[in-house]
Structure 1
């Protein structure tokens, strides 16, 4: 069955998760003793818990309920206005200007209060959804910083022949090729964090959420740029070691 053209114009949470899962397997296969694979698994878990949107049905019902209440409030307002107009048209219409002022004031108060209630109820489901999205994006921002911490101490200068250790030097424990792979995995993870954040822009027009997505994309882009600067400084520009059994057709190797 052929896919609709729109299928190629939108990010799919399940496809992003599948890419993260493949990357997790590649990291664990090459660096089983390091925790970077657990960070990648955490990103996959974030997509499971937050982006497949288990509360989406609940948000839908809340939106329907708020719209029903809004309709009832507007109906009550129109009924009240019709009653007041009917009273003013019959024989019991007010005899003084002050009585007219009281009626107009009552009508204005009713309209203002109903308008405030309508605005609040209309926006309530959107506020709940925004709160959920911002909490999810905050988790992704934290994951980006965790990934950055994993590469922060991986200094390629330690692999130089003229590097002099100090008592405070942390052992790298990697060859140039292994460090190249490790840093590249960090770069891919940051890119997938950015793609995961972009999933939120697929279903919302909320400016706060969109601005937060943009800030995460800027953050991960800056971090990725620093990683590639490290890769460029590796002695001899050590090539990545690619295992054929982990190669992804049409994508990156391991």
Structure 2
């Protein structure tokens, strides 16, 4: 019972990303982030099938390996049956030639078995690295969506230019938007870990570690924005844990200039 928490469950990842999709769609309908979240959901669904394919033995490669192993055994037995003919060889040179040919055949077939054994691993490694490449691109897409969600733009609204992006989100909405991006990056990382949950190829593990380093780095940048946003608006007493769209802030009827 306790071992159920020692490995990732593709069903739980799908459930998590599906719930995240609903949350993003409800808060930011018709936004680009909804489409990105939907793409993450699709990849998570594909990852379930791919992880099953990776963990399942490849019948063709396994069959070829077994056939070659049987070939080595048959060849070895044949060499044993020919040892009785060694005494009839007219010279020591012919004996050495016979022995060299037998050893070379065994080594050659053994190398072929090793090659086919690694061929299955390299084939699965190719599938994983291709999938990791898609996840890496998706992580950069998530990062692109959060680039313009700059908390400083809320504090320095007068410093806009003609080319400045249009910012309609409230501080609370920006906070939720950035938080959703960090969740997406975390899910992307978990999908990558799903591929190597039972496949312990070192090259594949290194590729997953590289993706996790990327997503962690992108998440740290977002958390810096979240920290700036929270600290700034807590300091100015304008940032609350409730959606500002439902609030009616009191009107300031004084003639003093607001420097906040």
Q: Determine if contact 1:137/1:212 at 8 Å carries over to the other structure.
A: yes
Choose the corresponding residue for 1:24, options 21, 26, 39. Answer: 21
Residue of structure 1 aligned with 2:67, choices 66, 69, 80: 69
**Offset, 1:105:** 1.8
Higher mean displacement: 208-217 or 228-237: 228-237
For 2:153, the equivalent position in structure 1 comes to: 158
Cα distance in 1 for residues equivalent to 2:121 and 2:133: 18
Match of 2:252 in 1: none
Q: TM-score, normalised by structure 2?
A: 0.84
Deviations 1:208-251 (A, max 9, x none): 11111111111111110100111122240534558xxxxxxxxx
Q: How far apart, CA to CA, are the structure 1 residues paired with 2:199 and 2:85?
A: 47
- State the partner residue of 1:82: 80
1:163 Cα deviation after fit: 3.9
Name the TM-score, length of structure 1 as normaliser: 0.86
SS in 1 for 2:196: helix
Q: Which of the numbers 184, 197, 200 marks the counterpart of 1:202?
A: 197
Q: Distance in 1 between matches of 2:75 and 2:228?
A: 71
Per the TM alignment, residue 51 of structure 1 is displaced from its structure 2 partner at its CA by 3.0
Q: Which residue in 1 is equivalent to 2:181?
A: 186
1:41 lines up with 2:38 in the alignment: yes
User: Take 1:83 and 1:110, find their aligned partners in 2: how far apart are those partners?
Assistant: 16
Gaps of 5+ in 2: 244-260
Aligned residue number for residue 105 of structure 1: 100
Partner-residue secondary structure (3-state), 1:52: helix
CA distance in 1, matches of 2:30, 2:214: 28
- Aligned partner of residue 55 in structure 1, secondary structure: helix
RMSD: 2.0
Deviates more, 1:126-135 or 1:63-72: 63-72
Higher mean C-alpha displacement, 64-73 vs 104-113: 64-73
Task: Check the 8 A contact 1:13/1:52 in 2, yes or no.
Answer: no
Consecutive unaligned residues of structure 1, counting only runs of 5 or more, are 243-254
Q: Give the equivalent residue in structure 1 for 2:116.
A: 121
If you compute each CA radius of gyration, which structure gives the higher value, 1 or 2?
Answer: 2
Q: Distance in 2 between matches of 1:15 and 1:239?
A: 32
Distance (Å, rounded) in 2 between the aligned partners of 1:151 and 1:11: 28
Alignment of 1:170-249 (within 5 A): 170-234=165-229, 235-237=232-234, 238-239=239-240, 241=242
User: Cα distance 1:116–1:240, how it changes in 2: closer, same or farther (>3 A)?
Assistant: farther
CA distance in 2: counterparts of 1:37 and 1:62, whole angstroms: 41
CA shift at 1:64, angstroms? Answer: 3.3
Q: CA deviation at 1:43?
A: 1.4
- Per-residue CA distance 1:114-170 (angstroms, 9 max, x = gap): 121111121121111111111111111111111011101211111115541111111
